[in-house]
Every structure is written in structure tokens, then in C-alpha cells.
């Protein structure tokens, strides 16, 4: 008999909650549609697919004819649907009741909309922690896919990874398929016939041998150069025809294989993700050491042998690396607890929808992919958080003036709110507002990201161009080096001050010193008072919240000859788009958010068409106002790019014995300018 190998071919399709419709439409045009149309013509080619829940909803509504192809392939047994959390959360970082809820909701959706209830699940970003096993099992999942790297880290040899293994947690069993790294890096980048030859070489290496592939569908048309390669030059069709023509390769669904082949035995995996992710989780200095170690091992020819023992960090390190990610996560956890504490009849579908949207993974991390650096993805999470909080307050009201360490960083915060607004002040010595929400607009104006060092800045400094790639295929996004924007040294400077509102500095004799030693001297539900010692004098700062206005009054004592500077980092959804603009007190347009502005005034308006609202900055006396866009530099699969994170407004005035009040007033609706 001819020795064969079972090809378990799976693709994962995902778009982040909050992504731009035009981006999704383009992805559908260049990837989802041609992929489904191509596979539909080959009923004998069996495969698995996972569309994340939010994306699936969008495609079913916007492109029903194309999704009918998927439904037909499911009905004829060609396609196996894989489950996951509905909004694509990293299961390991959300509470257990939300894991089960997310998994069950998505399985119900697949059953109702596409006619199949999944038995397998895609594990978001292949983030593995044993604690997720009971939740998966309780939600009806029998098996998941993770990288072969996970198994190598547990001591398995590469030759042992052509089947599936079984793990358990608390006596609840779950089967695990190891995704082949060799296939991930070949498909679809190597020539189609070379991939077929590679698969045929795996035939008969063991009884019931399987070649396991499950990876992002975006590699089939969205990654740079791939649309022409996969469809116009025919890579996908050539690959399918080559597989179907082979006597040694049997394309099967995971379920078929799982039902017919027994487990290879018990295994327990360490906490990990895929290799690249483990590197991305590390801070810049540690990532540099890791990269140097990997390079030395490769130069010595030892890397493939030693890579299971050369590990980076774990996914949760993103909460340690990025305070903004940690803050979002802990805010989400706090609201999840409030939802869980409600009587079951008060946990409405709207509350659950908002909670699950706040758990979408993309805005919490950053690497070559991941959306922490993308303001519109963080904004989608905060939109859900603010909506959810308002909904919970209507059912079970909170008390304003609460003090506690919300983000578990060892520093307390005080939360105060009105019907319209919420302000959270961090007691870290800066006495700044770290979160500023408008419940009418469902927006957090404090949702900004400060610059910090990244390991890939070295490539920018070296101004590396092009990609080192050998062979006749195309380069993977992991190997490409490109620049979408010109990046300057100033774009790479780490910011040593927190992002937020009312961040103060004292300026005297050209010395600019951040005020970092504010002490809380009193607070009530509507106000907080701080005092800082500067030389022989003091500054007293009183933050108040009332209605649709937040303000701060500054009173100096025994300070002469200097100035106070106050920084506001404001998340304006328009960023440097055409619909964001400054206006003066006479409603005259002064410029756009993407350009610097210098004025002396008592009033400045920030009008944002994407937000659907405007801010009015006011001062009790004429002050110098400097406004400018605040950029960060980051990497993506398309290259290095600059992203506007905030409007940075700095207000300055000379100190005298008169108190000065500054305030922001938030108003829904745009100005008619």
C-alpha cells in the first residue's frame, strides 16, 4: 500500500473589533472572497476554517453571497468550523465565566448561522495556559491547535509531532494538535510544488501520520505581495491541485482524523505562545539580549536544536511592559466582576455584548501585529468599557470618590464622576488625570500611548532597507524591512512623563522641571486637592468635576520669577485626519490637529467630526497655548510607521499671587463653523 500523510489544513480569519469598514472590505476583496471562491471549486479538498465572531457577523451581513459558499461547503462536509471566544479574547486573561460565555456564544452562532457546532477551537494567538482547559471542555470543545514549538518546549522531538496528544486539568481532558512551523513558513511563501514535495516526504514516517497546518488566512492575499502571488500567479490553485493529484497526501478535516485516530499519549505544555510572540513580550533591553542569543545560536548552527530552551516572555508580560495595556485590562476585569455580581435577570444582552467587546485581544498587545499602538482599536475597547460602566451604574450605582489601586501597580487612584463625565486621578506624585470619560460620547479622552523604547528601533536607526530572502518564493512579513513613513530621531525618544491631563512642570531660568511630588491633602466625591513643594514655595492644585466640566485651580505661594506649564494629552479620534480642527473664541478655524499651533488666549475649541463632539478649553486669564500632534513609531507587517496618538496641548503662564483656573468642557455635537 502507498504510504500516506493526512493533511490537516486550517485557516484563521480575524479582524479586530473596531477596525475600519474599508479595511475589512479590502481584506474581503483581496483575501476572504478569492480564498472561498477558489476552495469552493475543489470539493475534495477538505479543510478547517475559523472566522472570529465579530468578523463573521460583518461578512454575513455585508457579503451574504460569498458567505453562502462557506455555508455550502460546510453542508457538503468539505469544511470544518472551528470555535473560539466570540470577540477573539486571549482566554487566559479573562475570568472563567467569561471564557465559557465567549466560547458558548460563538459555538451557538456557528450552529445557528452556518449549520455546524464546532468541536475544535482556535486558541487566540496560540496563547497556552493550562488554566484554560476546564473552560474549553465545559464549553463543549474537544481539541485545539497550538504550535509544535509548545510541544518541543515540553520535551517532545520534532519527529513525534505528526499526530495529536491529550492533556488534562483537574481531570478534564483536552486533545492538542501541534501546528507545524515548517509548514507555517512554507505556506504560501515557497513554490507550490515544493510544498507538495515536502508534504509527500512526510508520508509514512509513522502510522497515521498527519501534517498539521493552521495559520492566518491573511497570508493568502493581505500580507504584502501575497495577492498577486496566491491568486494572480495561481499559488493556491496550484497547491490544491498538487495535493489532490498526489497519491501520498490525504486532505482531511480535524474531526475526521480525530474520530479515526487515537491520541499519541498524555502531555503537559508550559505557558507559552508562538516563538515570535515570546520575543515581542520582552522589554527592549531583554529583547535585545534574546535576539543576540538567538543570532549566536544560529551562527553556531545550534538554534534548531536549542530553540525549545531559548524562550522569551509570556503573553501576560504585555501588561507589565505597557501601563496603558495593563490599565485597560484591569478596568475590564473590574467591570466583569460587577457584571458577575448582578442577579442573573439583570445581566442583559447589552451588558454582555459590551463586556465581550472590551475583551477583544488586539488592543492589548504589540509586536509585528497586535493593535496596542492603533488608537482606533484601543478606542473600540474603551467605547465598550465606558458604555458598560454607564449601564452598570444605571442598575447598581457606585459611590463617587472611591480610592483604590485599580491597576495593581502599587499606586492608588481616586475616581470621581458626574452623570456626564468620569475622572480618575493617579496618586503617583504627578496628580494627573489618567482617565477622562464622557458617558454621552462613550469616549475616554485619556486613552493615549506614550513613547517607550522598542527593540525594533535598532532597525530604524540603521535605516535598514529591503529584505534578505533566498529562493524563488516571496518574503514573509517576518523577514521584510520597509518604511511606510519617514521616522526622525525625535519620534523614538522615550517619554518619561505619564500620559494624561493636568501634568505639570515648573519653569525657571530656562530650567524645565516636572512636578512629581504632589501630595494629596484632601478629597471628597467631587474634588481633590494636592500640594507640591517647589524650593521655598508651594503650588496647591485643586481638581474638580461638575456636570460636563473638569477643572483645576492652581495657587502659588512664595514662588516668584517662574512659570507653570500644564500638559494635556488628549485622545481625539480624528487624529491628524481632515475632520479634526482647532477654533478660536470667535469660532474661527485656527488649523488642524495634525499641525502645530501657537496662540495666546483664554479659550480654545477642539472640534472632532469622528468623535461627533467638541472640547472647549478655558482659562481664567490669558495663557500661552502650544498644541501639536504626538506621534509614536511602530512596526507592522507593512513596515515601520508613525501613528498619531494624541493632541498634546501645553499651557503656560507666569506665576504671581493670582490663582489660575483651567478647565475642559465636553459637548456632544460638532460646531457649525
Q: Are strands 172-179 and 143-147 parallel, antiparallel or unpaired?
A: parallel
Output the nine-digit C-alpha cell for 580: 479634526
- Residues pairing with 623 in the sheet: 601
Q: What is the dihedral of CA 64, 65, 68, 73, to 10 degrees?
A: -140
Q: Are the CB atoms for 425 and 436 separated by under 8 Å?
A: no
Cell numbers found for residue 65: 453571497
- Which residue out of 86, 88, 125, 607 is catalytically annotated? 125
Is residue 650 helix, strand or coil? strand
Looking at residue 198, what DSSP letter applies? Answer: H
Contact 140, 119 (CB under 8 A): yes
Backbone angles phi, psi at 211, to 5 degrees: -105, 115
Judge whether 393 counts as a catalytic residue. no
Angstrom distances, CA of residue 645 to CA of 332, 361, 455, 496: 21, 19, 20, 16
For 251, the grid coordinates are 486532505
Beta bridge partners of 120: 143
Please list the alpha-helical segments (H only) found in 13-87.
21-27, 33-40, 53-62, 64-75
Helix (H, G, I), strand (E, B) or coil at 505: strand
Q: How many Cβ atoms are within 10 Å of 449's Cβ, its own excluded? A: 25
Q: 11 with 47: CB under 8 angstroms?
A: yes
The angle subtended at Cα 415 by Cα 410 and Cα 421, nearest 5°, is 145
- Helices 33-40 and 64-75 pack at an angle, to 10 degrees, of 40
Strand 421-426 and strand 433-438: the pairing is antiparallel
Q: Where are the alpha helices (DSSP H) in 581-670?
A: none
Cα–Cα distance measured from residue 615 to residue 666, given in angstroms and rounded to the nearest whole number: 5
Buried b (16+ CB within 10 A) or exposed e, 392-412: beeeeeeebeeeeebbebeee
C-alpha cell at 613: 463632539
Q: In degrees, to the nearest 5, what angle opens at C-alpha 670 toward C-alphas 354 and 600?
A: 115
**What are the cell numbers at 171?**
481531570
Pairing of the two strands 5-13 and 47-51: parallel
The phi, psi pair for 500, rounded to 5°, reads 160, -165
Query: Is 216 one of the annotated active-site residues of the chain?
Result: yes
Contact 439, 455 (CB under 8 A): no
User: 184 Cβ partners below 8 Å, 6+ apart?
Assistant: 213, 215
The CA angle 198-200-203, to the nearest 5 degrees, is 120
Which of 57, 111, 169, 216 is an active site residue? 216
> Which residues form the catalytic set?
125, 216
Amino acid at each position: 500500500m502507498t504510504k500516506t500523510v493526512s493533511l490537516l489544513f486550517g485557516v484563521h480569519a480575524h479582524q479586530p473589533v473596531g477596525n475600519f469598514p474599508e479595511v475589512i472590505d479590502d481584506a474581503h476583496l483581496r483575501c476572504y472572497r478569492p480564498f472561498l471562491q477558489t476552495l469552493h471549486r475543489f470539493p475534495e479538498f477538505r479543510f478547517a476554517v475559523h472566522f472570529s465572531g465579530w468578523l463573521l457577523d460583518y461578512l454575513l451581513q455585508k457579503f451574504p453571497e460569498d458567505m453562502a459558499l462557506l455555508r455550502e461547503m460546510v453542508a457538503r462536509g468539505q469544511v470544518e468550523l472551528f470555535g473560539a471566544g466570540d470577540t477573539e479574547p486571549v482566554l487566559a486573561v479573562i475570568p472563567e465565566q467569561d471564557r465559557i460565555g465567549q466560547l458558548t456564544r460563538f459555538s451557538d452562532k456557528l450552529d445557528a448561522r452556518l449549520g455546524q457546532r464546532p468541536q475544535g477551537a482556535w486558541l487566540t494567538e496560540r496563547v497556552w495556559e493550562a488554566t484554560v482547559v476546564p473552560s474549553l471542555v465545559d464549553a463543549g470543545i474537544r481539541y485545539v491547535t497550538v504550535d509544535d514549538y509548545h510541544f518541543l518546549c515540553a520535551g517532545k522531538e520534532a519527529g513525534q509531532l505528526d499526530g495529536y496528544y491529550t492533556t488534562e486539568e483537574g481531570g478534564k481532558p483536552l486533545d492538542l494538535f501541534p501546528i507545524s512551523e515548517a509548514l507555517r513558513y512554507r505556506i504560501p511563501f515557497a513554490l507550490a510544488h515544493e510544498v507538495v514535495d515536502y508534504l509527500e516526504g512526510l508520508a509514512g514516517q509513522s502510522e497515521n501520520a498527519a501534517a498539521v497546518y493552521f495559520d492566518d488566512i491573511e497570508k493568502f492575499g493581505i500580507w504584502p505581495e501575497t495577492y498577486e502571488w496566491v491568486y494572480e500567479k495561481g499559488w493556491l490553485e496550484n497547491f490544491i491541485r498538487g495535493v489532490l493529484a498526489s497519491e501520498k497526501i490525504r486532505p482531511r478535516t480535524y474531526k475526521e482524523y480525530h474520530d479515526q485516530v487515537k491520541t499519541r499519549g498524555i502531555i503537559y505544555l508550559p505557558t507559552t505562545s508562538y516563538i515570535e510572540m515570546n520575543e515581542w513580550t520582552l522589554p527592549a533591553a531583554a529583547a535585545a539580549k534574546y535576539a543576540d542569543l538567538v543570532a549566536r545560536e544560529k551562527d553556531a548552527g545550534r538554534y534548531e536544536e536549542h530553540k525549545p530552551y531559548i524562550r522569551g516572555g509570556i503573553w501576560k508580560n504585555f501588561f507589565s511592559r505597557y501601563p496603558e495595556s495593563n490599565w485597560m485590562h484591569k478596568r475590564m476585569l473590574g467591570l466583569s466582576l460587577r457584571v458577575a455580581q448582578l442577579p442573573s435577570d439583570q445581566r442583559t444582552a447589552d451588558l454582555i455584548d459590551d463586556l465581550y467587546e472590551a475583551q477583544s485581544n488586539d488592543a492589548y498587545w504589540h509586536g509585528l501585529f497586535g493593535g496596542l499602538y492603533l488608537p482606533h482599536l484601543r478606542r473600540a475597547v474603551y467605547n465598550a468599557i465606558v458604555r458598560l460602566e454607564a449601564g452598570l451604574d444605571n442598575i447598581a450605582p457606585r459611590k463617587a470618590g472611591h480610592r483604590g489601586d485599580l491597576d495593581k501597580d502599587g499606586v492608588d487612584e481616586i475616581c470621581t464622576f458626574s452623570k456626564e463625565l468620569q475622572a480618575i486621578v493617579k496618586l503617583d506624585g504627578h496628580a494627573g488625570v489618567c482617565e477622562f470619560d464622557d458617558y454621552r460620547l462613550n469616549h475616554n479622552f485619556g486613552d493615549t500611548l506614550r513613547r517607550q523604547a522598542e527593540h525594533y528601533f535598532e532597525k530604524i536607526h540603521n535605516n535598514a532597507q529591503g529584505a534578505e530572502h533566498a529562493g524563488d518564493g516571496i518574503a514573509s512579513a517576518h523577514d521584510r524591512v520597509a518604511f511606510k513613513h519617514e521616522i526622525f530621531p525625535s519620534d523614538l525618544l522615550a517619554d518619561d512623563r505619564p500620559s494624561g491631563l493636568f501634568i505639570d512642570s515648573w519653569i525657571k531660568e530656562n530650567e524645565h522641571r516636572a512636578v512629581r511630588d504632589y501630595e494629596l491633602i484632601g478629597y471628597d466625591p467631587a474634588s481633590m486637592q494636592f500640594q507640591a513643594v517647589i524650593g521655598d514655595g508651594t503650588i496647591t492644585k485643586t481638581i474638580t468635576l461638575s456636570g460636563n466640566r473638569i477643572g483645576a485651580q492652581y495657587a502659588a505661594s512664595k514662588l516668584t520669577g517662574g512659570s507653570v506649564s500644564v500638559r494635556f494629552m488628549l485622545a481625539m479620534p480624528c487624529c491628524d485626519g481632515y475632520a479634526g480642527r482647532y477654533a478660536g473664541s470667535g469660532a474661527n478655524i485656527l488649523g488642524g490637529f495634525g499641525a502645530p499651533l501657537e496662540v495666546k488666549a483664554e479659550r480654545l475649541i477642539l472640534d472632532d467630526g469622528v468623535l461627533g463632539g467638541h472640547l472647549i478649553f478655558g482659562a481664567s486669564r490669558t495663557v500661552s497655548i502650544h498644541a501639536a500632534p504626538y506621534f509614536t513609531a511602530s512596526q507592522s507587517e507593512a513596515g515601520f510607521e508613525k501613528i498619531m496618538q494624541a493632541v498634546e496641548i501645553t499651557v503656560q503662564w507666569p506665576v504671581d499671587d493670582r490663582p489660575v483656573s483651567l478647565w475642559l468642557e465636553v459637548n456632544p455635537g460638532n460646531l457649525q463653523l
